[in-house]
Chains A and B, each alone.
Chain A
């Protein structure tokens, strides 16, 4: 008798496991993922540059329009667009489409210049992951490479990663003046408030310019 009860229970557990596995493996949400990946064939190898001194701050670089950001440790390779201010004075956001797009804040220093340059990217779109979906996984010491229109690469090294509630967003730390070339990467994080349709936190990565890199022409 006891064996029968155990058998019934185990069968129930097995059914649940199979059902959950089927739901995770064949869900509609994943249908958008292949499309997102298809749209982005690597144009350059994603790897951290060797010989970059992580413990020093490089002198500022000449101003040049940033065009893409690479974070090799988490596989980010996102083209950049300019972001300004909206009518309310808030920073504009990159569009959801293409999801791979990130943006740099126009009314602040350019990445590589002295000061805190700001790049934002979406954590996700309404249907799937976006450019900065894995930003929270970045570790201190990781490289962030900003490619620029003058063929140079501003190589930043991560100082710290911060998760902060949106209601207490540290605007001073993110946008404030710096005495050295810095970079802030910002995206959303934490729990998703379905009513407000907004994540409750921000993930902020702080980095400093470690070295300029000029590829051979």
Chain B
């Protein structure tokens, strides 16, 4: 009997310790973005009309054909091709690897003018307009992480109740022994 009481007391102490650690993890740990049950799945789709429904003419003034001097890289990860991060194309006659932004203009982004009341014609940005943004995209609102993980509280709560049960058992054994 005494051995069972000691075992129950030890178990209760362990359970309370586990409960404390679990709840501390739940309260202080970082929040992580979960996904599955809330994520838009395959039933999500576009809100806009897809281009298949659009009648905007293509830009015929731009030729996508290869020009003399162009060298198209192969598939990244394959023998004849560079990795995405080392596939900087060298300009003809300049074998050295360029600085990342050396050919990017520092001039202000040009602004177009068009007749009032008319939509500006769409056109792609020319190479002289290309810019490398500063910093990193901020593309999260925290909605998936706001709740935080639940499992530490579940484990902690279960451990608390287990400890309470074992404590009650141990106390009752002690009374019975007395």
Contacts and interface: CB of A to CB of B under 8 A. Distances in A.
Interface string B25-66: 000001111010111111111111111101011111011111
Contact of B165 (A12, A59, A90): A12
A191 B30 contact: yes
Nearest to A60: B64
A202 B45 contact: no
Nearest to A167: B136
B121 to A, nearest CB: 11
Contacts of B24: none
A186 B130 CA distance: 18
Contacts of A78: 44, 46
B133 A2 contact: no
Contact of B109 (A107, A136, A166): A107
Nearest to A65: B122
Interface string B138-160: 11111111110010011001101
A88 B134 contact: yes
A40 B43 contact: yes
Contacts of A172: 85, 100
B39 A20 contact: no
Contacts of A68: 46, 48, 50-51
B6 interface: no
A49 interface: no
B109 to A, nearest CB: 7
Nearest to A105: B133
Given A15-B161, A27-B147, A8 B168 contact: yes
B169 A2 contact: yes
A175 B132 contact: yes
B62 to A, nearest CB: 5
B73 A93 contact: no
A35 to B, nearest CB: 11
Interface string A9-47: 101110111011001100101101100110111111010
